[in-house]
Structure 1
Amino acid sequence: MIRETLFLKIAVFLMALPILALCIFGVPSIAREAAGFYPGFSSLPYFILIGLYITAAAFFTALYQALRLLSYIDKNKAFSDLSVKALQMIKYCAFTISGVYVAGLPFLYLIAEKDDAPGLIVIGLVIIFASMVVAVFAAVLQKLLRSAIDIKSENDLTV
């Protein structure tokens, strides 16, 4: 069991590395480029920075919760309230990412219109859809885990 969770933990870290690099190197250049395209909107780079860093914080929080969930599995505490809370936090983080991108879609439209890059809107929609899928999946797992914990506690009381 530990070998499988170790593989998943490594995968979580590998998922975090490109987003961390993007936050350090890519996001400031994206904000500078947007400021160059729209000199009349002096606050646009700040909105872009805030939006992207909020989504990055939610993403890293969800990855941390995934690591906690894997450690609960290693410790045979998979069927516990701690696991339910981790799944709940992952769900909230995914909804946050979707919400920020839905709110930022008009800005993406402006940038795509000026830069003549309609694929940018598609990328935003893919991010919204993917995070909604993760949120719904986490919600389903949370309900299933809650049901399993309730059944387990009923069986423990019966014996």
Structure 2
Amino acid sequence: MQRGTTLFLRIAVYFIGIMVLALFIFWLPRLANDTAEMFPEFSYLRFPVLIGLYVTGIPFYFALYKALKLLTYIDKSNAFSELSVNALRYIKYCAITISGLYAIGAIFLLAQNALHPGIAIIIFTIIFCSVVIAVFTMVLQKLLKSALDIKSENDLTV
């Protein structure tokens, strides 16, 4: 397969990674400081919430890395391989981890009586999107695994 066929997807993955990194570096600390100034009764939650958000960045960037590896496998005409199945498995685990971390964060904020309805909507949207990604990658993983099984059976019969 030609290298340029996945170029748009690579650019999109890099763009998403750069945008999220810019949000982590510039927007989140400023938002945390502004929120702590506006609501001083919840200022003690500034650093735990920031740390929780930064921790969710680890599986996010790992999933982006595995997505780039998957695009590399597609470029090298190696899409139907165990490497692709493993990359999809890791992406699924990262999506489950992200949704779990946000669920724990929502429970933590609810226990602190600091879960604003707007924040709850954002948290549940992220959880829902992560679960959708996990289910989609699980279906793709099973589909790819069954295609590999059929391919190996065909190779044995020929």
Q: 5 Å matches for 1:107-126?
A: 107=109, 110-112=114-116, 118-126=117-125
Counterpart position of 2:80: 79
Distance 2:142 2:33 in 1: 44
3-state SS in 2 of match to 1:110: coil
Where do 1:118-157 residues align within 5 Å? 118-157=117-156
Letter in 1 for 2:114: L
Which digits, 9 at most, give the CA deviation of each residue in 1:11-35, with x for residues without a partner?
A: 1111112101011012222333454
User: Cα deviations across residues 51-106 of structure 1 (Å, max 9, x unaligned)?
Assistant: 11121111111111110000000011101111011001100110111011111114
Q: Which residue of 1 aligns with 2:14?
A: 13
Runs of 5+ in structure 1 lacking a partner? 113-117
Gaps of 5+ in 2: none
Letter of the aligned partner of 1:104 in structure 2? Answer: G
Give the drift of 1:143: 0.6
Shift of the alpha carbon at 1:122? 1.0
User: Distance between the aligned counterparts of 2:33 and 2:97, measured in 1?
Assistant: 25
Residues 47, 141 of structure 1: alpha-carbon distance in 2 compared, 3 angstrom cutoff = same
In 1, the alpha carbon distance for the partners of 2:34 and 2:12 equals 32
Structure 1 residue 150, shift from structure 2 partner: 0.8
**Percent sequence identity over matched residues?**
55
Q: Which moved more, 1:126-135 or 1:50-59?
A: 50-59
Q: In 2, are the aligned partners of 1:34 and 1:111 still within 8 Å (CA)?
A: no
* Deviating more after overlay: 13-22 vs 1-10: 1-10
Q: CA RMSD in A?
A: 1.9
Pick closer, same or farther for the CA change 1:83–1:39 going to 2, 3 Å.
same
Letter in 1 for 2:30: S
Please name the residue that 1:91 is paired with: 92
Distance in 2 separating the partners of 1:80 and 1:32: 48
Q: Partner of 2:63 in structure 1?
A: 62
In the superposition, the TM-score normalised over structure 2's length comes to 0.87
Structure 1 position 40, deviation (Å): 6.8
Task: Say whether 1:27 aligns with 2:31.
Answer: no
Change (3 A) 1:40 1:126: closer
Aligned residues: 153
- Rounded to whole Å, the distance in 1 between the matches of 2:146 and 2:23 is 39
